[in-house]
């Protein structure tokens, strides 16, 4: 079996890492294609180095841009590589434009597609990610569902049960593997002047939040209220796009500890010891659930409903009073939920399914 792992964003690198490591362990024939959807490959090299991954064999350096232009450029570049390499299966992860481009390119060339983290739904078609994940699911040959709920969604949508595999989520593998690496690195706590359990952490970067003045202003005001209520530092690593909008909207961030974007291992360390995390990131919702850290989601919906079901997460939207109320409510609970995303062996299961099918 020859596999192509197609990725283009940092979350995809994180979640594909366990699959790449399993291919290495079994000495399976594979290669990595990096589209450069959010960053240039050169900017992501440090990510590969930190996670101790081999360099990508191909990089397209497409960069950010309008959805149509970005998807079209990736489609052209991916098709060229796939025609040259002729892998047996293409693996894509999640719901980005890279996923959509990789799936379409493979489907048109008659190459089998494996969609990692299949079956997630927010049922909000205004989100580009929702369109990407639905289309990728319905042209894939191997749908690797992270939970029982996501598996049932796929079956209810008419996808053949024999193509659906409930394997868990590679985020569990990634958190466990990478936290070990992170804890061998320099500690971030001294640098930021905080103590474990005595600070909160926030992220907000989604287009529908930071590009909308009312929503972003609500988030910032909500974070300030939370910080004032709890009386401990609230650390907010600000993504370049978000920083631009903060300045453009002239939002008041007094009381918040704004810091530069962090590398993944540093962020993972901070995340694992936070009293509370407030975020609009899907991946962070999962990671906090696995780490036993309460989470408030700054969105009106989520494609990670399992986090709501087990009680690790609560939806707050972007209105300041609701954000404060959610923070107080979830922080009062004891973190005794059960992780619904698997046992940390998802990468192994995915590669075993493929080896069995192609042997």
Alpha-carbon gap, residue 178 to 261, rounded angstroms: 18
3-state secondary structure of 88: coil
Q: Which of 38, 67, 205, 239 is catalytic?
A: 205
Alpha-carbon distances, residue 115 vs 19, 102, 139 (angstroms): 12, 10, 9
- Report long-range pairs for 177-183 (Cβ below 8 Å, ≥24 apart): 177/17, 177/18, 177/21, 177/344, 178/14, 178/17, 178/51, 178/264, 178/265, 178/268, 179/268, 179/269, 179/272, 181/50, 181/51, 181/52, 181/265, 182/265, 182/266, 182/268, 182/269, 183/269
Can you say how many angstroms the Cα of residue 99 is from the centroid of all Cα atoms in its chain? 13
205 in active site: yes
Return the structure tokens found at 167: 């394997």
The rounded distance, in Å, linking the Cα atoms of 118 and 105 is 18
DSSP classification of residue 161 = G
Q: What is the DSSP string of 196-213?
A: TTS-EEEE---HHHHT-H
- Rounded to 10°, the helix 170-182/10-26 angle is 90
Catalytic residue set:
205
């Amino acid at each position: 079996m020859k596999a192509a792992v197609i990725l283009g964003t940092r979350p995809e690198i994180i979640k594909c890492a366990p699959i790449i490591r399993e291919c290495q362990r079994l000495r399976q024939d594979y290669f990595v294609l990096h589209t450069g959807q959010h960053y240039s490959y050169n900017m992501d090299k440090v990510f590969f180095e930190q996670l101790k991954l081999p360099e990508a064999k191909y990089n397209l350096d497409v960069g950010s841009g309008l959805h149509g232009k970005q998807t079209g450029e990736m489609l052209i570049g991916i098709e060229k590589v796939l025609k040259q390499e002729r892998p047996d299966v293409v693996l894509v992860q999640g719901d980005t434009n890279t996923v959509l481009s990789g799936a379409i390119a493979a489907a048109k060339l008659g190459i089998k597609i494996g969609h990692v983290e299949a079956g997630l739904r927010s049922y909000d078609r205004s989100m580009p990610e929702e369109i990407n994940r639905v289309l990728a699911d319905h042209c894939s040959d191997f749908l690797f569902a992270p939970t029982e709920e996501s598996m049932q969604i796929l079956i209810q949508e008419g996808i053949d049960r024999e193509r659906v595999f409930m394997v868990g989520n590679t985020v569990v593998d990634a958190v466990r593997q990478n936290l070990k690496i992170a804890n061998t690195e320099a500690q971030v706590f001294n640098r930021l002047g905080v103590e474990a359990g005595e600070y909160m952490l926030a992220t907000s970067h989604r287009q529908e939040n930071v590009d909308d003045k009312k929503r972003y202003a609500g988030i910032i005001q909500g974070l300030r209220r939370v910080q004032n209520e709890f009386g401990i530092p609230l650390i907010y690593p600000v993504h370049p796009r978000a920083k631009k909008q903060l300045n453009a909207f002239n939002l008041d961030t007094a009381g918040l500890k704004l810091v530069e974007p962090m590398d993944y291992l540093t962020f993972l360390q901070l995340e694992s010891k936070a009293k509370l995390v407030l975020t609009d990131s899907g991946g962070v919702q999962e990671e906090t659930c696995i780490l036993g850290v309460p989470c408030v989601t700054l969105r009106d919906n989520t494609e990670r409903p399992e986090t709501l079901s087990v009680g690790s997460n609560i939806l707050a939207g972007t209105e300041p009073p609701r954000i404060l109320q959610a923070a107080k409510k979830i922080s009062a609970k004891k973190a005794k939920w059960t992780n619904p995303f698997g046992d940390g062996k998802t990468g192994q299961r995915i590669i075993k399914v493929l080896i069995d099918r192609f042997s």
